[in-house]
Protein backbone atom coordinates (compact mmCIF):
# COMPACT_ATOMS: atom_id res chain seq x y z
CA UNK A 1 0.00 0.00 0.00
CA UNK A 2 1.18 3.51 -0.81
CA UNK A 3 -1.45 5.85 0.64
CA UNK A 4 -1.38 9.58 -0.07
CA UNK A 5 -1.83 10.39 3.62
CA UNK A 6 -1.59 8.56 6.95
CA UNK A 7 -3.22 9.93 10.12
CA UNK A 8 -1.09 8.79 13.01
CA UNK A 9 -1.17 9.24 16.79
CA UNK A 10 2.11 9.85 18.60
CA UNK A 11 1.23 7.38 21.34
CA UNK A 12 0.23 4.06 19.85
CA UNK A 13 -0.26 0.86 21.83
CA UNK A 14 3.04 -1.05 21.64
CA UNK A 15 4.48 1.42 19.07
CA UNK A 16 6.06 4.84 18.95
CA UNK A 17 4.27 7.07 16.42
CA UNK A 18 7.45 9.03 15.69
CA UNK A 19 9.26 5.81 14.81
CA UNK A 20 6.32 4.71 12.64
CA UNK A 21 6.43 8.04 10.77
CA UNK A 22 10.14 7.55 10.04
CA UNK A 23 9.46 4.05 8.74
CA UNK A 24 6.64 5.30 6.52
CA UNK A 25 9.01 7.93 5.12
CA UNK A 26 11.65 5.30 4.44
CA UNK A 27 9.28 2.85 2.79
CA UNK A 28 7.01 5.33 1.00
CA UNK A 29 8.61 8.79 0.82
CA UNK A 30 5.69 10.21 -1.18
CA UNK A 31 3.21 9.38 1.61
CA UNK A 32 2.38 12.33 3.85
CA UNK A 33 2.06 11.75 7.60
CA UNK A 34 -0.21 13.88 9.74
CA UNK A 35 -0.23 13.47 13.50
CA UNK A 36 -3.62 13.53 15.23
CA UNK A 37 -3.06 13.43 18.97
CA UNK A 38 -3.76 15.07 22.33
CA UNK A 39 -0.05 15.44 23.15
CA UNK A 40 0.84 19.15 23.28
CA UNK A 41 4.52 18.83 24.25
CA UNK A 42 6.55 21.30 22.14
CA UNK A 43 9.59 19.02 21.97
CA UNK A 44 7.46 16.13 20.75
CA UNK A 45 5.80 18.35 18.14
CA UNK A 46 9.23 19.36 16.83
CA UNK A 47 10.33 15.73 16.77
CA UNK A 48 7.17 14.80 14.84
CA UNK A 49 8.03 17.31 12.10
CA UNK A 50 11.68 16.20 12.05
CA UNK A 51 10.40 12.65 11.54
CA UNK A 52 8.64 13.80 8.37
CA UNK A 53 5.27 14.92 9.67
CA UNK A 54 3.30 17.21 7.37
CA UNK A 55 0.90 18.29 10.09
CA UNK A 56 0.14 18.05 13.79
CA UNK A 57 -3.47 18.40 14.92
CA UNK A 58 -4.68 18.32 18.51
CA UNK A 59 -7.67 15.96 18.71
CA UNK A 60 -9.81 18.46 20.60
CA UNK A 61 -9.36 20.90 17.66
CA UNK A 62 -9.88 18.29 14.95
CA UNK A 63 -13.52 19.14 14.22
CA UNK A 64 -12.59 22.61 13.00
CA UNK A 65 -9.03 22.02 11.71
CA UNK A 66 -8.78 18.51 10.29
CA UNK A 67 -10.24 19.00 6.80
CA UNK A 68 -8.19 22.12 6.03
CA UNK A 69 -5.07 20.51 7.52
CA UNK A 70 -5.46 17.40 5.35
CA UNK A 71 -5.90 19.55 2.24
CA UNK A 72 -2.80 21.59 3.14
CA UNK A 73 -0.72 18.45 3.80
CA UNK A 74 -1.72 16.95 0.47
CA UNK A 75 -0.65 20.19 -1.21
CA UNK A 76 2.70 19.79 0.60
CA UNK A 77 2.24 22.75 2.94
CA UNK A 78 3.23 22.08 6.53
CA UNK A 79 0.41 22.73 9.02
β-strand partners of 16:
11
Task: Indicate the CATH number of 5-74 among 3.65.10.10, 1.10.10.10, 3.30.565.10, 3.40.50.2300.
Answer: 3.40.50.2300
pTM: 0.85
Q: What is the pLDDT of residues 8-48, one digit of tens each?
A: 999 888 989 999 999 999 999 999 999 999 999 999 999 99
**Does the structure show a pLDDT above 80 at 77?**
no
Q: Where are the domains of the chain?
A: 5-74
Q: Under a CB-based contact definition with an 8 Å cutoff, are residues 45 and 17 in contact?
A: no
Q: What is the pLDDT of residues 46-57, one digit of tens each?
A: 999 999 999 999
Alpha helices in 1-79 (DSSP H): 17-27, 42-50, 62-74
Determine the pLDDT at residue 79.
Answer: 52
Q: Under a CB-based contact definition with an 8 Å cutoff, are residues 17 and 35 in contact?
A: yes
Amino acid sequence: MRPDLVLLDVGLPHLNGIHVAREIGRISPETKVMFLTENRDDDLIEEAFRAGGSGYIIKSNAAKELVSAVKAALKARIV
